[in-house]
Amino acid sequence: MMRVIADFCLVPIGIGVSVSREVAACERVLAEAGLKTNLHAYGTNIEGEWDDVFAAIKRCHEVVHAMGAPRISSTLRFGTRTDRPQTMEEKIRSVSEKADTGS
């Protein structure tokens, strides 16, 4: 088992200037997969087991192609660690605390 925190941004190409319908479909795919997610202004944070996260990302490509997009270009950041468990909330908290105090 390998836990991953990822950040996923999918860009459909060849369907016009608006891509929010396709990105929304991906949100539903990720939610249906039971993954912990957080949508932000340039992607979606995803936390879960490696195989679950990557299966859902594959499903996003399949669904967006099925919606009519001939081409997709996605980007992903993804991190794993073996020293200790970590959650998305904790990553944000550990930065926020230090940013506030200037330490």
Write the DSSP symbol of residue 83: S
* Binding flag, residue 19, a second copy (CB under 8 A): yes
* Binding flag, residue 11, a second copy (CB under 8 A): yes
* Binding flag, residue 24, a second copy (CB under 8 A): yes
Count of chain residues binding a second copy (CB under 8 A): 59
Write the DSSP symbol of residue 82: S
Tracing tokens 């990105």 back to the chain, one arrives at: 23
Least distance to a second copy from the beta carbon of 67, Å? 11
Least distance to a second copy from the beta carbon of 6, Å? 7
- The residues, ordered by sequence, that sit 6+ positions from 50 with a Cβ below 8 Å of its Cβ are 1, 2, 3, 4, 80
Chain positions 41 to 80 lying near a second copy, rule: CB under 8 A, are 41-43, 45, 47, 50, 54, 58, 61-62, 65, 70-80
Side-chain-side CA neighbours of residue 15 (13 Å): 19
- CA–chain centroid gap for 102, Å, is 29
Closest by CA to 8, choosing from 38, 49, 51, is 38
Tell me which residues touch a second copy (CB under 8 A). Answer: 2, 5-7, 9, 11, 13-14, 16-17, 19-21, 23-25, 27-28, 31, 38-43, 45, 47, 50, 54, 58, 61-62, 65, 70-83, 88-89, 91-92, 94-99, 102-103
